[in-house]
Amino acid sequence: MQKIDLKSYTLEELGNVLTPLGEKKYRAVQTFQWIHQQNIDTIDEIPVLPKELRNKLSQNFFIDSLKIEKRFDSTIDETRKYLFRLHDDHLIESVLMKYKHGFSACLSIQVGCRMGCLFCASTKGGLVRDLSAGEIVDQVYQMQKDSGVKISNIVLMGSGEPLENFKNVMKLLSIIHDEYGQNIGYRHITLSTVGIPRKMKQLADKKLQITLSISLHAPNDELRKKIVPIARKFSLRSILDACKYYIEKTHRRITFEYALIKGLNDSADNARELAELLKGMLSHVNLIPMNPIKESELRPSSKKNIKQFYDILISKGRNVTIRRELGKDINAACGQLRRDFTEKN
Active site residues: 93, 334
Q: Report how far residue 46's alpha carbon sits from residue 215's, in angstroms, rounded to the nearest whole number.
A: 41
Side-by-side strand order, sheet with 80-85: 67-73, 80-85, 91-99, 102-106, 151-156, 189-193, 211-215, 254-260, 283-289, 320-322
DSSP codes of every residue in 222-269: HHHHHH-GGGGTS-HHHHHHHHHHHHHHH--PEEEEEEEBTTTT-SHH
Environment class of 276 (CB within 10 Å of its CB; exposed 0-12, middle 13-18, buried 19+): exposed
Q: What count of other Cβ atoms lies within 10 Å of the Cβ of residue 288?
A: 21
Cα–Cα distance, 197 to 216 (Å, whole number): 13
Query: 3-state class of 310 per DSSP?
Result: helix
Q: How far apart are the first and last CA of the chain?
A: 33
- Please choose, from the candidates 211, 232, 68, the residue with its C-alpha nearest in 3D space to the C-alpha of residue 139: 68
Residue 21 neighbours by CB distance under 10 Å: 11
Q: Which contiguous run of DSSP H or E holds residue 215?
A: strand 211-215
Percentages (nearest 5) of helix, strand, coil residues in the chain: 40, 20, 35
Is the separation of the CB atoms in 92 and 86 below 8 Å? yes
**193: exposed, middle or buried (Cβ count in 10 Å: 0-12, 13-18, 19+):** buried
What 3-state DSSP class applies to 70? strand
Q: How many CB atoms lie within 10 A of CB 1?
A: 5
Enumerate the β-bridge partners of residue 283.
Answer: 254
CA distances, 236 to each of 2, 99, 115, 194, 218 (Å): 43, 32, 16, 11, 9
